[in-house]
Amino acid sequence: MPDSSAPRIAVIGAGPAGIAAGYELLQQGFTDFTIFEKSDAAGGTWHLHSYPGLACDLWAHFYTFSYRPNPDWSANFVDQPEIEAYLQRCASEFGLDSHFVFNTRIDRCVFTADKCWELTTDKGETQTFDAVINAMGGQHTAIYPEVPGRDSFEGDQWHSTHWNHNIDLAGKRVAIVGSAAAAVQIVPKVAGIAGHLTVLQRTPNWIMPRNWKAYSPRMLALFRRFPALTRVWRWGQGLLMGVVLEGVTLGHKRMEQFESRVHKFIESAIDDPELRRAVTPDTRYGCKRGLVSDEFYPTLNRDDVELVAEGLTAVRAQGITTASGRDIDVDVIIYCTGYQVMDFDRIDVRGQNGKVLGDVMNAAPQAYLGIAAPDFPNYFFAAGPNGIPINTSYFTSVERNVKTAVNLLAQMRSEGVKAIAVKPEVSAAYNAQLAPAFATYSWGHSSCNSYYRRDDGSSPFLYPGGFKDYAALHEACGLADFEPA
């Protein structure tokens, strides 16, 4: 990328990571870039998902770009419409509107003999770029239970990812399959509307009180009058996130404190002793994603809500069958059964030496600093394997990751380098250092069974450590870690 050239850069995805990538590219003088988005607007998950109760489970001021605090958050935790509006406002303010190409999905990326990436869209069109930043989020490929009979169900059914707003649930018998992140938000909203609600819980989760509180007009006026206050608020919430790292560290007293707090919450929120036992986790705190809700546990006390502490084994024409063989007739089934967090097969990515990204990552999901993999030159992840530290927000993680990626592109531009790939030995050494650290945390220990952890003991999702250490590694990253392609 000599100084006289204007490298063309493709960004895939227009959620928080894609917006962060666009912002960083403009900050470093890159203007010839395109942000491809499969949907009709920016916002990523916060535009695509719209189930009732959808909200962020982190504090609102912490769930922002560091360079664009938001004085207008209505509460300490906010719902999907506010987050979507914030993201779309940021995109416009950053000057990204002219860079978006909506309703266009990237299906294929091939590294060519000319050391460029040829991208093919779902419309069959091809374009060539010098570099690619993969900014796709991880909550788009829905997972459905692998049970017989789903096609035989005569009622309505859908995944929380694809909420059917055309169906009125009033008076209907509804089954919600799952009791994790989406379910704890949906259940309180559906209860009281449905005639009867059945919640299938295969595994109980650790649920902290959210302690939701709207900001007063006076507080909002202070945020707007003194913008620095929002940064102080964000900084303070970041310090509190350090406690989260301690809370998932095996042997740390903070973990016992967190577990005790949830146990007390269950005692105070649920009336029936048998129901209390059913929702009490038998894992260590943090093995599965920690959740927050003020309403989920109290909702289970309702006479028109039943928690069934069993998994789903079959779907029938008239309803569902649980693990104990119990048949429950329902009119609607809502699957809150999660997403394929690291789906590298969504795009057919072909790098050097015959390597196919999906094959490489399915065998061993590893990347250097969460952003680059050997044999895939000038191809960067905004949130690749182990690219999200435990104790920070998605926004902060992708900001750091895309900054490093764009720093590398800027160094290439100034030194006249056409293409680089991370050195295999550098990537291998980095990932070898990570491996022992996984077992330090509840989510990486061999006793834990969750989407965080693979059978081989690795985690393709979280960085096993805090953001401060992670950021220091990124600060030290440079072209010396890469080789010409």
Q: What is the DSSP string of 379-410?
A: EEESS-TT-EETTS-HHHHHHHHHHHHHHHHH
DSSP string, 413-449: HHHT---EEE-HHHHHHHHHHHGGGGGGBGGGSTT--
pLDDT at 140: 78
Evaluate if residue 3 carries a pLDDT over 50. no
pLDDT at 113: 96
Evaluate if residue 269 carries a pLDDT over 90. yes
DSSP string, 314-374: EE-SSEEEETTS-EEE-SEEEE---B-SS-TTSSEEE-STT-BHHHHHHH----BTTTB-T
pLDDT at 186: 99
DSSP string, 256-310: HHHHHHHHHHHHHH---HHHHHHHS-SS-TTSS--EE-SSHHHHTTSTTEEEE-S
Cα dihedral value 418, 424, 429, 434, nearest 10: 90
Rounded to an integer, what distance in angstroms lies between the CA atom of residue 110 and that of residue 129? 10
| Percent helix, strand and coil across the chain, each to the nearest 5 | 35, 20, 45
Rounded to an integer, what distance in angstroms lies between the CA atom of residue 194 and that of residue 7? 55
Share of the chain above pLDDT 90, in %: 89
Instruction: Please check whether residue 439 is in contact with residue 287, taking contact to mean a CB–CB distance below 8 angstroms.
Output: no
- pLDDT tens for 151-181 read 999 999 999 999 999 999 999 999 999 999 9
Instruction: Please check whether residue 395 is in contact with residue 403, taking contact to mean a CB–CB distance below 8 angstroms.
Output: no
Of residues 259 and 455, the one with the higher pLDDT is: 259
What does the block give as tokens for 246? 């301690």
Band of pLDDT at residue 5, cut at 50, 70 and 90: low
Mean of per-residue pLDDT scores for the chain: 95
Q: What is the pTM (predicted TM-score) of this model? A: 0.96
Residues 6+ apart with CB under 8 A from 33: 8, 9, 10, 11, 22, 25, 99
Yes or no: domain 150-206+249-335 corresponds to CATH 3.50.50.60: yes
Using the 8-state DSSP alphabet, how is residue 208 labeled? Answer: E
What does CATH list as the number for 9-141+341-484?
3.50.50.60
Paired residues of 379 in beta bridges: 132
Determine the straight-line distance between the first and last CA of the chain, rounded to whole angstroms.
13
- pLDDT tens for 177-203 read 999 999 999 999 999 999 999 999 999
Stated as kind and residue range, the H or E segment containing 278 is helix 273-279
Of residues 97 and 446, the one with the higher pLDDT is: 97
pLDDT at 342: 81
Does this chain's domain 9-141+341-484 share its CATH topology with 150-206+249-335? yes
Instruction: Please check whether residue 386 is in contact with residue 401, taking contact to mean a CB–CB distance below 8 angstroms.
Output: no
Residue spans per domain, the chain: 9-141+341-484, 150-206+249-335
Residue with tokens 């129901």: 275
Rounded to an integer, what distance in angstroms lies between the CA atom of residue 202 and that of residue 212? 27
Stated as kind and residue range, the H or E segment containing 120 is strand 117-121
Stated as kind and residue range, the H or E segment containing 472 is helix 467-475
What does the block give as tokens for 64? 């922002």
What does the block give as tokens for 138? 């991880």
Using the 8-state DSSP alphabet, how is residue 55 labeled? Answer: B
Instruction: Please check whether residue 55 is in contact with residue 118, taking contact to mean a CB–CB distance below 8 angstroms.
Output: no
Evaluate if residue 427 carries a pLDDT over 60. yes
Evaluate if residue 1 carries a pLDDT over 80. no
Evaluate if residue 435 carries a pLDDT over 80. yes
Rounded to an integer, what distance in angstroms lies between the CA atom of residue 341 and that of residue 161? 13
189 by DSSP, 3-state: which? helix
